[in-house]
Amino acid sequence: MSWKLWKKPDERAKEEYDKAVSLRNQKKYVDAANSFKSAGDLYAEAKSFDESKRAFILFFLYYAAANQTSENLLKLSEYSGNLNQDVVLKVPTDITAGDLKTEASLLGREKELLPQFDNKSEPVASEFERLATDMFSLGREEFYLKALIDNAGESPYLKGYKLNGLASMIRAEVVILEDPSKAAEFFSQATSNFQNAEIRQFEEEIQDKTRKISVVTKCWFCGRTIQGENSQFIYLDSFITKYMQNKVEKEIPPVIKGSQVVSCYSCYSSIHNIADLVAKEYYEKAKTMIQTVRSEVLEYIKQLNEAVKELQRYSHTH
């Protein structure tokens, strides 16, 4: 291999680049990434800086293809900005550096954002909505990177609808405690977006939550009309006599459901707090009683030990 030392850096760079392309075609992405990196170093040594940048972009691309994390995709996007945005790269389909930068950014942001769905807050909902807008702005049915990056297989338009649907679901959860009717509107928007995205994953969950927040009833305890099962009121098990059932079962809105009574969360929390206080009081009484009994038992054991010792002394003297 020593003969390679006599070759010029640009010749060695070209050979390493061609090797990387061959490895890429065999889908050996880790090896291809390493060879593109070596080619980039050699092109830089040969003062071919544009070719060096091209090779390093492909290094970041195939490293991201082998290790598909949001961080690697966002690094790819960032580095793609170092090359003229109109330069065409073969990956192996043709893609400009500008399109590569945009697609890697979108896909990286999506991977970074989706795990935050459970963090129900308006800022997170806004991030989902913003990414949805950017997906629609891409203006095409497919990603150029669909053969390389797993989450690029779905259409940008379908992603846009899905992300808007997730944003609406988050907003519904944010306002459900303050305004059940507004939450129902957001759930309706989510349903429409998921239908456009051809997603049925959340269909049953949304239907169930929409049904519950639409329920209007009246608290058994305070008599106030309330809306929103599990968000504004709950059902509590109770013993309802036939007399009482006949008396209230025709009330509108209803105050009972089968053998359960309706409780708004204000009344429920008050009852719960009082129950905690009563339980704590009984606990303290029980604790005091146990300590008293324990002291008595210990004293009794002490007396028994003294009696045993006395018997032992007596047996030794006789």
Render pLDDT for 124-144 as a digit per residue (tens, 0 to 9).
999 999 999 999 999 999 999
pLDDT of residue 4: 52
pLDDT of residue 309: 81
- State residue 308's pLDDT score: 82
Task: Provide the pLDDT for residue 59.
Answer: 96
What global pTM score does this model have? Answer: 0.77
CB of 69 closer than 8 Å to CB of 111: yes
Query: Which pair of structure tokens corresponds to residue 162?
Result: 């899905």
For position 177, what pLDDT does the model report? 85
- Residue 3's SS3 state is helix
Phi, psi (deg, nearest 5) at residue 237:
-60, 140
**Over the chain (318 residues), what is each successive 10-residue block's mean pLDDT?**
63 92 94 95 92 94 96 96 91 92 97 95 97 96 94 95 97 91 94 93 91 91 90 91 86 88 92 89 89 88 84 73
